[in-house]
Structure 1
């Protein structure tokens, strides 16, 4: 079974505890965002998904005047050991809000539609290195 490379980003009342993870400033949250992540390529790919979704949750909630005391997004997935092809990325969102279930459902549907990094990954992302890397020294 492929390994599960999980990361969590959170803000407000759902931010990871101080000392757990990395703190980053964030335009939508006064206390910034905290990310619990291990520094591997697999984790960083999932961090990009989780961070993008979290950012868009705050942006879209703000645009809709939905109260949001906290949010956390966990993104996870594995990779095939032979090829390192991703087995897919799954993300879960937890919200601390007084918004109705219907409002939350609409918010999360919009976020899933507009979040740029998940959208790009769903389309396939060509990656290339067109020129030789520079050497120093």
Structure 2
């Protein structure tokens, strides 16, 4: 059972949200105006935001590689935690604004889900140790 949730959103291009009190604007290699992301008020949100930003970035990268034009991307990620602060998992949704056929957009989303580095690391399990 999820006792704590930490939903976040990363947006760019034509789907870029306005900067607000709980969001930040970040420079982005694939868009001139950058990305709006947030909230990032605690570590759980930052963890989920790392997934959202990675998926957003890789959507632009893979679209270019596949020759698919995209005008905007929005990624919403959420994850829950139980009473012992163990993750109950992270899920995300991607919205792509593109003139490309729906089939091409679906193929792009599938490729991104395979190659996005942060989701891959989390799926494999990451060891975290204190060094000092």
TM over 0.5: yes
Q: Per-residue CA shift, 1:18-76, capped at 9, x if unaligned?
A: 33510011001111111021310100000000000000000001112211111000000
CA apart distance, 1:102:
0.8
CA apart distance, 1:91:
0.2
1:56-135 pair list within 5 angstroms:
56-81=58-83, 83-130=84-131, 132=132
Q: Which runs of 5+ in 2 are unaligned?
A: none
- Number of equivalences: 130
Q: Which contiguous aligned blocks of 4+ residues in structure 1 show a shift greater than 6 angstroms?
A: none
Secondary structure at the aligned position of 1:54 is classed as helix
Distance across 2 between alignment mates of 1:19 and 1:91: 22
* RMSD of aligned alpha carbons: 1.1
Q: TM-score, normalization: structure 2?
A: 0.94
Distance across 2 between alignment mates of 1:11 and 1:106: 20
Decide whether the 8 Å contact of 2:40 with 2:49 is kept in 1: no
Q: TM-score, normalization: structure 1?
A: 0.90
Q: Which residue of 2 aligns with 1:2?
A: 3
Which is higher, the Rg of structure 1 or of structure 2? Answer: 1
